[in-house]
Amino acid sequence: MIKKITIDQLKPGVFIHDFDSGWHTENLFINQTLVKNVKTIDIIRSWGIKEVYIDTERGLDIDAAKTAREVRDETDKSLHELAKADPSSSYYIPLKEEIAIAENIKKEAASVIQRATANILAGEPLETEDAFQLIEKMGDSVTRNKDALILLTRIRQKDEYTLMHSISVGSLVLSFCYFAKIPHEMTLNLAVGALFHDIGKTRIPLEILNKPGKLTDSEFEEMKRHAEYSAEVMVNATNLPHEAFDMGLHHHERYDGTGYPDGLKGEEIGYGSQVAAICDVYDAITSARCYKGGMESILALRKLYEWSNYHFNKDLTYKFIRCIGVYPIGTCVRLESDLIGVVVGSTDNVLQPIVRVFYNDKKKSAVPVYDRDLFKIGDKVASYEDPGKWDLGKLKIFDDLPAGISLFT
């Protein structure tokens, strides 16, 4: 049985099933291990990990611990309550109309970051004029349809992670700022900071940056220095506001003080850096890397909710979850009517999205693909459905996407 325990409950003889720490992926290549001694526990504690999942069939049991299912059910209930707090707004224009525009913006964003990277490698300062113009376009896209650009940045090759990650975090920060009604000038500043938050990785050796396995301790320490490298690049940039610079330096700080490089705690961390930390981790754990697959969006939101108890500002995390939506676009779901489909749009109730249905589980048969507006019909999402159970790659779930692009392989 899989259970969740705190680090204080951990003891030798317990088998760790999951370290429950998504941002330590580079240094936790092997995520399961038997705890052999107290020294191991001290090392895990030093990583800032507060809770882990254990397997009681492979190690000692902890009687007072909640099962993984109990944790999941409690989290889902809380997420649904969060969703009710802020009714979502309908799209200004539908996905199929915005997606082509968003694809061009994504290409322009890639060019802006690639030019900036080339200039830095050539010893030139970071120029931001093109970035601010780009952010205006990205912001327009997000206000027309909050999902199109974010959806497209999820489609990436494993060898272009750093590039697409920067665009994705920029899009997520923009979406959050509009949702939270942050003033326009501040929104632009934070979005530019998000776009360049990892620019310091240009100084990390490629053999470390692209290593398809666990980093050594020295390699991990060098990887962590990318935040300081980002600050060194951004401090000399033209017309870059302090908020953006701070995001480059402090997007790996954690609310409980377990982050880096300065171990800042609580409101010692700038607002933009707190937002960037949430967006950065969300994109990181939902993205496929050279050494791991990506987590489904709904599962990532569950993790963020759990981690808000320690690592992130709880209020900002809750706002982010409401911004993204409990069932983000692309989530495979089971409806109360026993239909199976994929979320393709939102309505005035985030718990009743538009679902592209492809299967009737009651009749155990496929159905012609069609869109079901749960808000109008009165149907509801019953649960998340593992997309691995369905051959979604052969179904034209997202025929709205540009030719040659598919979310499901």
pLDDT (tens digit per residue) in 160-189? 788 899 999 999 999 999 999 999 999 999
- Paired strand residues for 6: 51
Distance of CA 238 to CAs 189, 197, 233, 244, 352, Å?
13, 15, 11, 12, 46
Cβ neighbors of 207 (< 8 A, separation 6 or more) are none
Dist. CA 172–CA 197, nearest whole Å = 13
Residue 326 DSSP one-character state: S
261 prior amide bond cis, ω within 30: yes
What is the fold of 95-324?
A: Hypothetical protein af1432 (1.10.3210)
More confident residue, 138 or 20: 138
pLDDT (tens digit per residue) in 195-223? 999 999 999 999 998 887 778 889 999 99
Query: How many Å is the Cα radius of gyration of the chain?
Result: 21
Mean pLDDT of all residues belonging to the chain? 87
More confident residue, 249 or 394: 249
CA-angle at 290, arms to 288 and 295, nearest 5°: 20
Residue 407 tokens, joined: 């979310």
**Domain limits of the chain?**
2-64, 95-324, 332-394
- Paired strand residues for 370: 357
Q: Which of 192-196, 300-304, 395-399 has the lowest mean pLDDT?
A: 395-399
Considering only the C-alpha atoms of the chain, give the largest distance between any 2 of them, rounded to a whole number of Å. Answer: 64
Q: Assign 120 a pLDDT band (cuts: 50, 70, 90).
A: very high
Nearest to 322 by CA among 95, 143, 85: 85
Q: Assign 27 a pLDDT band (cuts: 50, 70, 90).
A: low
- Element (DSSP H or E) covering residue 77: helix 68-85
Q: Assign 241 a pLDDT band (cuts: 50, 70, 90).
A: very high
Position of tokens 């291990």?
Answer: 33
Predicted local confidence at residue 29, as pLDDT: 46
- 335 pLDDT exceeds 70? yes
